[in-house]
Amino acid sequence: MHKPYWLDKKINLSDIRRTKELLRGFKLSTVCEEAMCPNLGECFRKGVATFMILGNVCTRHCSFCATKKGKGKPWDIDEPIRIKQAAEKLRLSYAVVTSPTRDDLADYGVQAFCRTVEEIKKIKPATAVEILIPDFCAQESALKKISRCGADVVAHNLETVPSLYIKVRQGADYGRSLEVLRAVKKNNAEIKTKSGIMLGLGEREKEVMEVFKDLAGVNCDLLTLGQYLSPSRRHYPVREYINPAKFMEFQAKALSFGFKSVQSSPYSRSSYLAGEMCRP
């Protein structure tokens, strides 16, 4: 299946060199690179990146994701300080932090998230922080700590509709992911919660509407909808390329469910233009 004309974004390597060199200097990974994000060139050119803590190896085997699979290395306890230094160097007013799923860690990586937020919050003037978290197996104590770690936004992506989980999100559970968002809000009513799904995996429109309803039911504030692009022939294939006009239609329908902000376009991603979604 050939990509349509509206998916023609290119990466200019000369535009991203400065940001890549800075990140390598601090020995930091980004989900932008690990997930082969098509917006990498645009974001790196602006000096914006989504930090990936706890290494670049995921313990789960989702078929849509380009992140390496296996057992990760021990947490580097100095990583939060280096992220703070990099965020200062990049002059970020809005920092986004994520991680691979680390089911091999006793706390699933919660301490690493909390420490990273704590360090970024030391930046003056204040830098807003969004964390994009795995499900932490919906452990109650983990979600309580995350909800009170000082982050401005806690994001957890549903990724797709329930019927496709067995093919696309091996090791994940739709109900468990909804519980993550519900629990974060329950433990901290002031925090903004966020989720995202990919389109073009073979989902039906009726199923997408059910996801909107479920997210509204757990008081999710922010939503992103983007086109799924398969990282390689070994990954789950694209079933459909969604027209930009259809993304606009989905945005209008999602907003009718009560979300505060919805980003919906072929190139929308969870962390793409994240700061703009949170502006008053």
For residue 98, which of 76, 83, 85 has the smallest C-alpha distance? 83
Q: Residue 163 has what DSSP assignment?
A: G
Give pLDDT, residue 32. Answer: 81
Q: Residue 159 has what DSSP assignment?
A: B
Q: What is the pTM of this model?
A: 0.94
Give pLDDT, residue 95. Answer: 92
Q: What is the pLDDT of residues 19-31, one digit of tens each?
A: 888 899 999 988 8
Give pLDDT, residue 171. Answer: 86
Q: What is the pLDDT of residues 158-205, one digit of tens each?
A: 999 999 999 999 889 999 999 999 999 999 999 999 999 999 999 999
Compute the Cα dihedral for 254, 256, 259, 262 and give only its sign.
Answer: positive
For residue 254, which of 277, 236, 237 has the smallest C-alpha distance? 277
Give pLDDT, residue 278. Answer: 78
Q: Residue 38 has what DSSP assignment?
A: T
Q: Distance between CA atoms of 137 and 280, rounded to whole angstroms?
A: 33
Residue 12 has pLDDT above 70, yes or no: no
What domains are there in the chain, each with its CATH number? Answer: 13-277 (3.20.20.70)
Structure-model confidence comparison of residues 207 and 92, the more confident one: 207
Residue 14 has pLDDT above 70, yes or no: no
For residue 161, which of 243, 64, 235, 251 has the smallest C-alpha distance? 64
Give pLDDT, residue 13. Answer: 62
Q: Distance between CA atoms of 87 and 116, rounded to whole angstroms?
A: 11
